[in-house]
Amino acid sequence: MIPVSTVFKSTGRKSVLGSNETHDLTPSPSAMLLSLRNVGYTLQTALADIVDNSISANASRIDIGFNWSGKQSFISVSDNGDGMSEDRLLEAMRLGRNPQDPRQLSDLGRFGLGLKMASWSQCRSFTVRSRLDDGSRATLRWDIDHMLATDRWEALSDPRPGSEQLLLADSHYSTGTVVLWEALDVLDQSGILSASHVFWEATERVEKHLAMTFQIAHSFQMGDRVQPMTEGMAADLNRTAVVLLEVPAVEHARLPPPSWPESQWS
């Protein structure tokens, strides 16, 4: 093997070791994002992260709406929790937070990643809309295609074109937060959007997983259409199913959080 020092001498390069040189290795947003999309979430574990945020925000009711409409299918999680101001929403959409910041003991979240990573693992565009009881409203969207095109961590303040009506239809509560997942490319690639019955089977897996994870009352309803049916569409296109979670006021609603290495942080 050629000694490293010989290599540096022969190429005339200066060894970085021991010198004061620094190198800016800021990750490329595009490359980073595509890696982050593949961190091993399933549909049910991803939705559990979104639901966990709703519970942490003191929601007593959480509706998970599944709307199957082939490649245009979408999923929304609507809660009646505390909601977020515009400033808080901006922080919520940022990747990462200081794990030493105060949090509720039972809060599964900690690193400021769940909302973004869970959503990116399933869809190309996700919008968060939050309403406070003073009537204010904030909206922010991460769009993978926009990020790839700009190579910037740049969120958008508008819903996807044409999706405002979905947000309105899915905002079931006067205060709280809606997370809307659109362009469900991962489900599409895995065949889950191929037929409505396959999609409904996936929603049943979600319901079972959430029931097991959070151990709270839940119900499953096949509901009415959210979008108007276009002419000639098969009868079961654009059908909606809703998993409704009712969170009891007591804090022990959830299983204990996984055992974090507390000593590392405290």
Instruction: Report the candidate in 50, 55, 78, 243 with the shortest Cα–Cα distance to residue 166.
Output: 78
Instruction: Report the candidate in 14, 34, 19, 7 with the shortest Cα–Cα distance to residue 151.
Output: 34
From the list Mg ion, ligand ADP, none, partner contacted by residue 225 (C-beta under 5 to 8 A by kind): none
The Cα–Cα gap between 90 and 155 comes to 9
Return the residue nearest Mg ion (CB atom): 109
Return the residue nearest ligand ADP (CB atom): 109
The least distance separating ligand ADP from the CB of residue 180, rounded to whole angstroms, comes to 12
From the list ligand ADP, Mg ion, none, partner contacted by residue 127 (C-beta under 5 to 8 A by kind): none
The least distance separating ligand ADP from the CB of residue 151, rounded to whole angstroms, comes to 22
Instruction: Decide whether 64 or 193 has the Cβ nearer to ligand ADP.
Output: 64
The least distance separating Mg ion from the CB of residue 191, rounded to whole angstroms, comes to 28
Residues in contact with ligand ADP by CB under 6 A are 53-54, 57, 79, 81-82, 84, 92, 97, 109-116, 177
Instruction: Report the candidate in 63, 60, 61, 53 with the shortest Cα–Cα distance to residue 104.
Output: 53
Alpha helix (H) ranges present in the chain?
4-11, 29-36, 43-56, 86-93, 114-120, 144-150, 164-170, 185-189, 196-214, 262-265
From the list ligand ADP, Mg ion, none, partner contacted by residue 82 (C-beta under 5 to 8 A by kind): ligand ADP
The Cα–Cα gap between 14 and 21 comes to 10
From the list Mg ion, ligand ADP, none, partner contacted by residue 153 (C-beta under 5 to 8 A by kind): none
